[in-house]
Amino acid sequence: MRSLVKILIELRFVIIVVILVFNSNFSNVFAEESLLEFNDSNLGNFHSFDNEELSIYTAAINKDISQISFSNDSVQTFRSKAIDYAQKGDVKNASIFIEKFIKSSFHVGFVNNDFFEKIADFQEFKELQSKYKVNFSLINLFYLFTSLIGFFIFAILNLKNKNNNTSTLLISLFVLMHSIFILDLFFFLTNLRYSYPHTYLLSISFSLLYGPLIYFYYKKIALNYSFRKIDLLHIIPTAIIIYNVYPYYFISAEEKLKIMLDVSSLSLDKIHDFTIIFKFSSLLIYAILVMKIYLLQVKNDNKISIEKYNWLKGIAYLVSSYVVFYCVYGVIVSSDSIPRIEFLFHLQIIAMALMVLYVGSMAYLSPTLFAQGFFEEIKNKYNKSGLTFSFSKDLKEKLIYLLEEDRIYRQNNISLEILSLKLDTNRHNTSQVINEHFDLNFFELINKYRIEEALSIIKNDIHKNMNIIDIAYEVGFNNKVTFNKSFKKILSQTPSQYIASLSA
């Protein structure tokens, strides 16, 4: 079984390439199939057609849709009938002619006309309106915000990357492409794509790049992988996608609008469907490869730092979750028989947004993660340490207990040696645990807990009975000078200034 899985993974490019090449002439076939769908969806309403409309849709049946044109009289007739039916409260026929007018005039904003107030509360009209009306819901604004954050992260990571840091470039590109995809979805979900037709196909070209980017980034930082020319094979599926869709980038805005309104002889519906399938397959394969590195090379590596472990763990779990949610999203989008459940539809987008925000937060909170050679420096620093990850976690828990329950920091003679004895380990291990888990040195950690208790004492001393020196001795300091210095370092003000601010 393992051999079979290995063979499939190795042949992933061949499989994708063969199928994509086989379907490289999708467009002509899709045009015909989309035309048939066009016929089926419109002929059901033939009873409401006048002679000119009927001749138009008869031309569609004869697969001569490129010759179809609507005269100004026809367009105005659709508009008049839509308004007339709306005034009569006939929501069904009003909706039919509203859509006919939109698809013949490309005036999408017509659906917001005040003439339709009388049918505004009908569900059929609301469904039609939701297809064309601009929708700035909170979730859509969140997607826009996340996308903009992603662009900012991409810029910051590369501006700060003065050296040739390949891993940072890979993760920044990963964030950039996700941000473009989220922006693409924002235009789709808000219906702004009708106002900006050139956003059509905004992100489809690099749909198969997400997996390779995160895989090679992961491989680079976990295994210090050096790239080879053969790795370029991973971009072949993307090249084929671009080859199939690039002509559509150069068509006019009006033609793109026609495609989006389903009144064009051109169609990319099938390419969209196949892209979803291949994207899921690609993500699944690369997610397996990422998890394999995480489980076999990272989790069992006794020399790995805690910060590196947590970073790789976060990436691995987010990617895996994203693959699951994308599968649900793909099924919903590509199937006409499955109702679109909004919560399930948005799960994939939210997972993608969380990945962008996670990388962004880490870039802000732990910028050294993206520094040149950071992981190698951490590893070299503790390369002689016998501290395993599980032992490190145990020591951390014991240390927290000593600090929070036993309040060992109150001992004014506390030292790294004494603390190590209480932890039943050596000084080197204790120092490593403090550095990796708390990002502090020994004295900074002890003083942090001392100042926190001092703040608690000051706040609870309502009657101001305690002197500053008494508080200092209470929490473990030997003198007032050291207490004042540590207090100001953490709070940027002296104890006296802090007490005065409470009384103000």
Tokens 């469904």 sit on residue: 127
User: Which is higher by pLDDT, 110 or 5?
Assistant: 110
In this structure, which long-range contacts are made by residues 499-504, counting pairs with CB atoms below 8 Å and at least 24 apart in sequence?
A: 499/458, 499/464, 499/468, 502/458, 502/459
Most confident region among 20-24, 38-42, 300-304 by mean pLDDT: 300-304
DSSP state, residue 232: G
Give the per-residue pLDDT at 39.
38
DSSP state, residue 257: H
User: Is residue 16 pLDDT above 60, yes or no?
Assistant: no
Work out the average pLDDT over 495-500: 86
Angle between helices 123-132 and 91-105 (to 10 degrees): 10
Give the per-residue pLDDT at 140.
92
- Tell me which residue of 278, 183, 289 sits closest to 240, measured CA to CA: 278
Reported confidence tier of residue 369, pLDDT bands at 50, 70, 90: low
Per-residue pLDDT of 51-71, as tens digits, reads 444 444 444 444 343 444 455
Reported confidence tier of residue 129, pLDDT bands at 50, 70, 90: confident
User: Is residue 34 pLDDT above 80, yes or no?
Assistant: no
Per-residue pLDDT of 434-464, as tens digits, reads 887 787 888 889 999 999 998 888 888 776 7
User: Is residue 155 pLDDT above 50, yes or no?
Assistant: yes
User: Is residue 324 pLDDT above 90, yes or no?
Assistant: no
Per-residue pLDDT of 398-417, as tens digits, reads 888 889 888 999 998 888 88
Give the per-residue pLDDT at 318.
85
User: Is residue 121 pLDDT above 80, yes or no?
Assistant: yes
User: Which is higher by pLDDT, 462 or 299?
Assistant: 462
User: Is residue 359 pLDDT above 60, yes or no?
Assistant: yes
Q: What share of the chain is helix, strand, coil (3-state, %, to 5)?
A: 75, 0, 25
Most confident region among 181-195, 277-291, 327-341, 453-467 by mean pLDDT: 181-195
Q: Which residues contact 460 (CB under 8 A, 6 or more apart)?
A: none
Work out the average pLDDT over 114-129: 86
CA dihedral 328, 334, 340, 346 (to 10 degrees): 50
- Tell me which residue of 76, 68, 65, 73 sits closest to 32, measured CA to CA: 65
User: Is residue 377 pLDDT above 90, yes or no?
Assistant: no
Give the per-residue pLDDT at 177.
92
- Tell me which residue of 250, 253, 278, 333 sits closest to 17, measured CA to CA: 278
Give the per-residue pLDDT at 179.
93
Give the per-residue pLDDT at 334.
66
pTM reported for the whole predicted model: 0.62
Per-residue pLDDT of 166-196, as tens digits, reads 888 888 899 999 999 999 999 999 999 988 9
User: Is residue 13 pLDDT above 80, yes or no?
Assistant: no
Give the per-residue pLDDT at 234.
92
